[in-house]
Amino acid sequence: MTESPETLPIFERQMGRRGVLAVGLGAAVLGLAACTGAAQKSVDEENKKAQPQKDTVTLKPNASGVQEVEIDASDNYRFVPSTIKAQPGTIKLTLVNKATAATHNLVFKPGGPTAEIPYLAPKTSKSITFDVTPGDFPFVCTFHESLGQKGTLIVTA
Phi, psi of 46, deg, nearest 5: -65, -40
* 146 lies in the same domain as 78: yes
| 3-class SS of residue 79 | strand
C-alpha–C-alpha distance, residues 153 and 112, integer Å: 9
* 130 lies in the same domain as 73: yes
* 42 lies in the same domain as 75: no
pTM above 0.85, yes or no: no
- Domain, as residue range, for 148: 56-155
* 129 lies in the same domain as 83: yes
Domain of 60, CATH number, reads: 2.60.40.420
| 3-class SS of residue 76 | coil
* 39 lies in the same domain as 111: no
All residues at 6 or more sequence positions from 155 whose CB lies less than 8 Å from its CB, including other chains: 85, 86, 87, 88, 132, 133, 134, 135, 136, 137
135 forms bridges with which residues in the sheet? 155
* 17 lies in the same domain as 82: no
* 122 lies in the same domain as 89: yes
Q: Would you give per-residue pLDDT tens digits along the chain (157 residues)?
A: 565 556 656 555 555 666 555 555 555 555 544 544 444 444 445 444 544 567 999 999 999 999 999 999 999 999 999 999 999 999 999 999 999 999 999 999 999 999 999 999 999 999 999 999 999 999 999 999 999 999 999 999 9
Q: How many domains does the chain have?
A: 2
* 66 lies in the same domain as 123: yes
Cα–Cα distances in angstroms (integers) from residue 54 to residues 10, 29, 58, 98, 124, in the given order: 64, 42, 11, 16, 21
